[in-house]
Amino acid sequence: MNRRVALLSVLLTSGALIAAVLPALAVARQPDPLLEAEAAIERGHAALRAVQAPDGGWQRPGDPPAITAIVLRAFVHGGKYDTSNDFIKKGYDQLLSYQLENGGIYKDLLANYNTAIAVSALAAADEPSFKPRIEKAVAYLKGLQWTENTGGAGPKGERVTDEKNPWYGGWGYGRHGRPDGSNMQLALDALHDAGLKPQDPAYQAALKFVSRMQNQSETNDQPWAGDDGGFVYTPANNGESFAGETTTPDGERRLRSYGSMTYAGLKSMIYAGLTKDDPRVKAAWNWITRNWTLDENPGMRLADPGQAQHGLYYYYHTLARALNAYDQPSITDPSGKQHDWRVELIEKLTSLQQPDGTWVGDKRWMEDNPVLVTSYAVLALQEAVEDLKQHPPAAQEVPKSKVQTPNKLQ
């Protein structure tokens, strides 16, 4: 009898032990998002390095120098590479060969786009010798911003004489181009990366343009402004949105908000110094929680279901940089489900990576170019990694010595 009791006791104890250990083993077997991301980044880096041109750049015939710039930033942003690596130095030498006397870094067209992306790439290198080049380029970018101080006029004689003009504070493709949210966010990325503080007049002027991109009638004086908190492409020329427009029951015109511009708007407001308590930031965050998805660029299908994948990797890159700046790892959707954006983005991007280490998307907006799209994906993963190190998931711990502290929204 005693043997039976002893045996039963052993079995019960073993069962309890197994029941206690199994969940821990299940957790241990789950993929580590940090390791998954770093492995994907490494594969992306290898793919990009393999296609560097003999001149040091990454441009195909006809491509702008911004392609080389964004690739360089994808290499140096994570800290693994710098200008001591020969192939990186060669790339920067090629990029800087495009800098003009006026400070711009471009060739023939898209002056703001190219110069802004180049500034971000140069700043990411943390190379002291680049500082004069960056300062010259930043001065050029400031000169492109539409304010009462902008010289000359637009292609149809447009002039900005005061901040009542919807062009005020924005950037276009060049000195006299119509401003839009994409050019604006890249210019502000450049100013932020170059170390300019939110009090700089360029940010404050940009904030007026950004606020006019938002469907927030309390803070947007444009007649088409709705109230969903999202952002459109541009308030210029009576407004435009790649998600199309609609009409209210009262016959009023409204522009639809969409994902990539909403994250661009949120990020730009953060860089301009707005806090989470600002009603514009709150409204943008509410739109994001209501429209959380990584399956498409949300809002775009409202104009045409075939557009849902347009700008998808640009969306991922903008989303990751914006959410890292916002400093909130968890997003709660309308059903109450919580989403760790870092983990979900890493899962999505690793699932989309090609066997050769590249990513490729829809041909709209050059996203059929694997060099550009792979750079977008690597940069997005790097933002997720940076945020994960700041705020590890509950099941992970990162040594304090490995945690970096980027400039984030308080």
Please tell me the predicted confidence (pLDDT) of residue 261: 98
* Separation of alpha carbons 389 and 258, rounded Å: 29
* Separation of alpha carbons 187 and 184, rounded Å: 5
> Hey, what are 104's tokens?
């711009």
Please tell me the predicted confidence (pLDDT) of residue 177: 83
* Separation of alpha carbons 338 and 336, rounded Å: 6
Please tell me the predicted confidence (pLDDT) of residue 410: 39
> Which residue positions in the chain have pLDDT lower than 50?
1, 7-8, 10-12, 18, 21-22, 24-28, 396-410
Please tell me the predicted confidence (pLDDT) of residue 302: 94
- Span 309-354, pLDDT tens digits: 999 999 999 999 999 999 999 999 999 999 999 999 999 999 999 9
- Span 267-284, pLDDT tens digits: 999 999 999 999 999 999
Please tell me the predicted confidence (pLDDT) of residue 363: 84
Q: How many CB atoms lie within 10 A of CB 378?
A: 30
Please tell me the predicted confidence (pLDDT) of residue 26: 45
Please tell me the predicted confidence (pLDDT) of residue 27: 47
Please tell me the predicted confidence (pLDDT) of residue 150: 77
Please tell me the predicted confidence (pLDDT) of residue 153: 59
Please tell me the predicted confidence (pLDDT) of residue 207: 98
3-state secondary structure the chain: CHHHHHHHHHHHHHHHHHHHHHHHHHHHHCCCHHHHHHHHHHHHHHHHHHCCCCCCCCCCCCCCCHHHHHHHHHHHCCCCCCCCCHHHHHHHHHHHCCECCCCCECECECHHHHHHHHHHHHHHHCCHHHHHHHHHHHHHHHHHCCCCCCCCCCCCCCCCCCCCCCCCCCCCCCCCCCCCHHHHHHHHHHHHHCCCCCCCHHHHHHHHHHHHHECCCCCCCCCCCCCCCCECCECHHHCECCCCEEECCCCCEEECCCHHHHHHHHHHHHHCCCCCCCHHHHHHHHHHHHCCCCCCCCCHHHCCHHHCCCCHHHHHHHHHHHHHHHCCCEEECCCCCEEEHHHHHHHHHHHHCCCCCCCCCCCHHHCCCHHHHHHHHHHHHHHHHHHHHHCCCCCCCCCHHHCCCCCCCC
Long-range Cβ contact pairs of 403-409 (< 8 A, separation 24 or more): 406/324, 407/192, 407/325, 408/324, 408/325, 408/326, 408/327, 409/270, 409/275, 409/276, 409/325, 409/326, 409/327
Residue with tokens 């980044």: 41
Please tell me the predicted confidence (pLDDT) of residue 397: 44
